[in-house]
Structure 1
Amino acid sequence: MPDISAVVFDLDGTLIDSAPDIRLCLNAVLADLGAPALTLPQVHSFIGNGAPHLVKLALAASDLDPALHASALAAFLALYDDAHVETVLYPHVIETLETLEAMGHRLGLCTNKPEGPTRFVLERFGLARFFDAVVAGDTLAQRKPDPAPLLHTLDMLGATRAVYVGDSDVDAETATRSAIPFVLFTEGYRKSPVEALDFAGKFNDFRLLPQIVSDLIG
């Protein structure tokens, strides 16, 4: 078996700051239901476990009937499929992906974001060309922190050595359950203090990531 190293990334809160667009779409749905707008910190706290869970938390925070979940989720997804008004890349993402690629690592994406908006945002920001494997929140029956999506990504890449780069509690648990090193981007949407998470490395500037990866997997 060839020795293949891989770096797999989360998307929201790791490569892109998408919370403002998620908030816009959620608040549009809630407004139609007569509920007040959510704040950005509230939305940050809801992100990480996929769109169904996001909408469930938004309804609960707005004291709306949980029976509205299916219709609210459909309305949210329809709006969010190509939402990009306020989404931005974190600084130095592109150059860092280029560096990791030049180092010989295969790159993958493992996100709980649905595939439609995932593919859209990858094309929108010129990221699609970097990833040899993309596993989204609806690719499998399971979502992170279940290890299945990350392990599937690694299988697609043929990786024998890998790290997972993410920003959240969910990402840290996913990496632990997949038995691969986790590298924490500290500027994302985590709910716990940095010191409460299990990680092999951490960074607040993408320019630091290639050296961390090199230290962990060569």
Structure 2
Amino acid sequence: MSPPPALIFDLDGTLIDSLPDLAAAVNRLLAAEGLAPMARAEVQSYVGDGAPALVHRVMAARGLAAERHADLTTRLVADYSALPAELTTVYPHVFETLTNLRQHGHPLGLCTNKPGAATGAVLSALGLALLFDVVISGDSLPERKPHPAPLLAAIDRLGAPAIFVGDSEVDARTAEAAGLPFFLFTKGYLRVPLSEISVTATFDDFADFRELIATLPATP
């Protein structure tokens, strides 16, 4: 019998709802610039590709000068990293499901575009840090998702065939580029119609996730 596959998860929008803290950080940045705040839905439409892309989109929406991108990105990341889990919540059944998967022999990894400092702070604050064998953050490598390099690095360190679990079109493209099955959590931050991405399976509650894994053919 083949060993259980490794399971690699995205973080924001997959395991946690971090948008309240991301939106708060964006709005603190805008307030410092004397600009009006953004609603959650607008911030959500800008996330998924890492902090630099988020800041670029916020700047474009508010007419901030492009040459300020590096400075504003540094400020946003520092501010968010200092308060990464004030309003963030873990989605229902995530903790018990990941714990159960570990107990049944699945190596667990995390592959996120969130910067490493913020990733570590969030995982520690929410009690998730000890669940993962490997964590690849947005600044672990020169490339970010949807480039396959971060996901391939996680697979290499886990040393097992893997399934990628995410919530967005960025995650779907990453899995496709890496040649992995992709499971979509449908209550996350997907910005395009489901018909536009390639998925192996979908689910909307982590209570059903382990059973879903068990019913699918073994990974190659």
TM > 0.5: yes
Provide the residue aligned with 2:46 in structure 1.
Answer: 46
Residues 120-159 of structure 1: matches in 2 within 5 Å? 120-159=121-160
Provide the residue aligned with 2:200 in structure 1.
Answer: 200
Provide the residue aligned with 1:94 in structure 2.
Answer: 95
Provide the residue aligned with 1:216 in structure 2.
Answer: 216
Distance 1:58 1:146 in 2: 23
Residues 54-133 of structure 1: matches in 2 within 5 Å? 54-83=54-83, 84-133=85-134
Percent of aligned pairs with the same amino acid: 45
Distance 2:21 2:66 in 1: 23
Distance 2:183 2:66 in 1: 36
Distance 2:82 2:130 in 1: 19
Shift in Å at residue 46 of structure 1?
0.8
Provide the residue aligned with 1:184 in structure 2.
Answer: 184
Shift in Å at residue 82 of structure 1?
3.1
Alignment CA distance shift 1:45-1:204 (3 Å): same
Tell me the secondary structure at the aligned position of residue 216 of structure 2.
Answer: helix
Please identify, of 181-190 and 62-71, the stretch whose mean Cα deviation from structure 2 is larger.
62-71
Distance 2:20 2:126 in 1: 16
Shift in Å at residue 35 of structure 1?
1.6
The amino acid across from 2:142 in the alignment is A
Shift in Å at residue 196 of structure 1?
2.2
Cα deviation 1:80-122 (Å, max 9, x = unaligned): 1132111000001001101211221000000000000100111
Distance 1:82 1:90 in 2: 22
The alignment's TM-score, normalised by the length of structure 2, stands at 0.95
Distance 2:125 2:151 in 1: 24
Shift in Å at residue 217 of structure 1?
5.2
Shift in Å at residue 71 of structure 1?
1.2
Tell me the secondary structure at the aligned position of residue 36 of structure 1.
Answer: coil
Shift in Å at residue 212 of structure 1?
1.8
Provide the residue aligned with 2:171 in structure 1.
Answer: 171
The alignment's TM-score, normalised by the length of structure 1, stands at 0.96
The amino acid across from 2:21 in the alignment is D
Provide the residue aligned with 2:33 in structure 1.
Answer: 33
Distance 1:194 1:146 in 2: 20
The amino acid across from 2:148 in the alignment is P
Please identify, of 135-144 and 21-30, the stretch whose mean Cα deviation from structure 2 is larger.
21-30
Distance 1:124 1:217 in 2: 35
Tell me the secondary structure at the aligned position of residue 82 of structure 2.
Answer: coil
Please identify, of 21-30 and 144-153, the stretch whose mean Cα deviation from structure 2 is larger.
21-30
The amino acid across from 1:148 in the alignment is A
Shift in Å at residue 63 of structure 1?
1.2
Q: Which runs of 5 or more residues in structure 1 are unaligned?
A: none
Shift in Å at residue 194 of structure 1?
2.0
Contact 1:4 1:158 in 2 (8 A): no
Distance 1:82 1:94 in 2: 24
The amino acid across from 1:47 in the alignment is V
Q: Which runs of 5 or more residues in structure 2 are unaligned?
A: none
Shift in Å at residue 34 of structure 1?
1.8
Distance 1:206 1:101 in 2: 14
